Amino acid sequence: MEDATIVVNAPARFAAATAPAAETGKYFIYQFAATGTPAPKVTLASGTLPPGLQLAPGGTLSGTPTQGGTYTLTLQATNGIGTPATATKTVTVR
List all residues 6 or more positions away from 79 whose beta carbon is below 8 Å from its beta carbon: 9, 11, 12, 36, 37, 38, 39, 40, 41
CATH number of 10-93: 2.60.40.10
Alpha-carbon distance 51 to 43, whole Å?
17
16 or 87: which leads in pLDDT? 87
Q: Residue 7's pLDDT band (boundaries 50, 70, 90)? A: low
Say yes or no to pLDDT of 1 above 70.
no
Q: In this structure, are residues 69 and 78 in contact, taking their beta carbons and an 8 Å threshold? A: no
pTM of the model: 0.84
